[in-house]
Amino acid sequence: MEYRDRHVVVTGGTGALGTAAVAALTEAGAVCHVPYMDRAEAERFAFRKHAQVKLVADIDLTQESAVAKLYGTVPKLWASIHIAGGFGMAPVAATAKSDLMKQVDMNFVTAFLCCRAAVIAMTATGAGGRILNVATRPALEWRAGAGMIAYTASKAAVAALTVALAEEVVSSGILVNAIAPSTMDTPANRRAMPDADPAAWAKVEDVAATILFLASPENRVTRGAVVPVYGRS
């Protein structure tokens, strides 16, 4: 897949899946613009000194002004990939409104604001582009969201955003899709579930390969899809 000299925003790019996505994108020739808030994570980021990676500091993706600042640094945006988000597990009786709004902000609001900014930027170039959101398996299989309802609802909103937006902007040559991961094999998940067998979990490199295709110029027809990336789990 050919990304040479194409500019791509990758939110959450310093995390486990984000790092795998940036690796695949830069190998394909893309220039990746990676916002971050966590300076320690950015310091550990394997591609922080890569010639095709532009780190953008102190970007709070829940704030319109910060998102505008981020997209204002990107010339001729081709793709916008929204991996940033957060997880919260609690039964509904133990979930306060503040907990719910935190999940909505981290997952839905960040995706919405970045989608909006990407559409504006891509429409201005007239060259179309690609938008990729990250939902989750419970966003498609709601019963699987028991015990983490705030998280599930916020990610279901991301799925709905994806499908509706895909219909809205297709005439501008912008294809919008999402992936819906199950449990991925990351250091954080291994720490959180030390007794689980990660052999069936999706590898981040394999999930990144799906992202790479959906956000590529070679994807000419897929839009409005929320693609399961479950591995064998």
Question: Is 97 domain-assigned?
Answer: yes
Query: How many structural domains does the chain have?
Result: 1
- Average pLDDT over the chain reads 97
Check pLDDT > 90 for residue 232: no
125-165 pLDDT tens trace: 999 999 999 999 999 999 999 999 999 999 999 999 999 99
Mean pLDDT, to the nearest integer, of 55-81?
A: 97
Structure tokens, 102: 């935190």
Question: Is 122 domain-assigned?
Answer: yes
166 contacts 158 by C-beta, under 8 angstroms? no
Residues in the chain: 233
Which structural domain range is residue 214 located in? Answer: 7-229
168-205 pLDDT tens trace: 999 999 999 999 999 999 999 999 999 998 999 999 99
What CATH number does residue 135 fall under? 3.40.50.720
41 contacts 92 by C-beta, under 8 angstroms? no
Question: Is 54 domain-assigned?
Answer: yes
User: What is the distance between the alpha carbons of residues 24 and 172, in angstroms, rounded to a whole number?
Assistant: 26
Question: Is 2 domain-assigned?
Answer: no
- Pure H helices in the chain: 16-27, 39-44, 64-72, 97-103, 110-125, 137-140, 149-169, 187-192, 204-214
> 173 burial class (0-12, 13-18, 19+ CB within 10 angstroms)?
middle
Residue 121: its pLDDT value, please? 98
Question: Is 187 domain-assigned?
Answer: yes
Residue 233: its pLDDT value, please? 83
165-168 own/partner pairs: CB under 8 Å, 24+ apart: 165/115, 165/119, 165/131, 166/223, 166/224, 166/225, 167/224
Q: What is the DSSP letter of 86?
A: -
Beta partners for 79? 8, 130
Question: Is 136 domain-assigned?
Answer: yes
Question: Is 34 domain-assigned?
Answer: yes
In 3D space, the residue among 131, 121, 133 whose CA is nearest the CA of residue 82 turns out to be: 133
Question: Is 1 domain-assigned?
Answer: no
User: What is the distance between the alpha carbons of residues 52 and 44, in angstroms, rounded to a whole number?
Assistant: 17
Residue 34: its pLDDT value, please? 98
What share of the chain has pLDDT > 90, as a percent?
97
